[in-house]
Amino acid sequence: MISIDIEKKLKSYKGQHILQIKQQFAAGSITKIYGPSGAGKTTLLKTIAGFTEPERGKIIVNDVVWFDTESKINLPPQKRMAGFVFQDYALFPNMTVKQHLEYATTDTEWINRLLAIGKLGPFATHKPEYLSGGQQQRLAILRALAIKPKLLLMDEPFSALDPESKSALINELKTVFEELKTTVLIVTHNPQELDGLTKMEMNIS
């Protein structure tokens, strides 16, 4: 179970407003998060992961307090161990595809399975600059999965994929999420594309 009750100041072209989220997510659930640009969708994910700090509130994941302003608890991202798929991929330019995964895990069998899931086996020795946008996006997803996270945060993870590749990858991911019992939050600009993957939804406006 993930319990979130936070307030975070946001700045946008319309001025400053407050992102207020009070929500619980069941363990193993997959939730799509949507809403207008600037509403705070990406900020919510970064706040949960520990990359940004809310002004007030509490975040509890599987009975562990990750953040609590009253108790002055704020676990750093490396202790929260959430998988994160960044909208801009945030890949390491000097690492090959395989090195990205080896950086996160030493489990060779798991690495090979991830490469197969992302159809990146033939590109294992390639660096990001030699990959297409879709391949880079798939690598970003695989890297986030490499640590077998109990919580996975995905920011527009399928935006660079064509419909066929997207459908195939989503089917593979459904199996992985079920195996790992991963709780997944997915920010999307197109909620309909995730209808076969998610059962829950959250609108931030």
Q: What is the pLDDT of residues 134-177, one digit of tens each?
A: 999 999 999 999 999 999 999 999 999 998 999 999 999 999 99
Structure tokens at 33: 């998060």
Q: How far apart are CA 147 and CA 156, in angstroms?
A: 20
Q: What is the pTM of this model?
A: 0.94
Structure tokens at 180: 């790992």
28 CB burial (10 A radius; 0-12, 13-18, 19+): middle
Q: What is the pLDDT of residues 10-46, one digit of tens each?
A: 987 667 889 999 999 999 999 999 998 888 999 999 9
Given a contact cutoff of 8 angstroms between Cβ atoms, the answer to whether 87 and 45 are in contact is no
Q: How far apart are CA 63 and CA 60, in angstroms?
A: 6
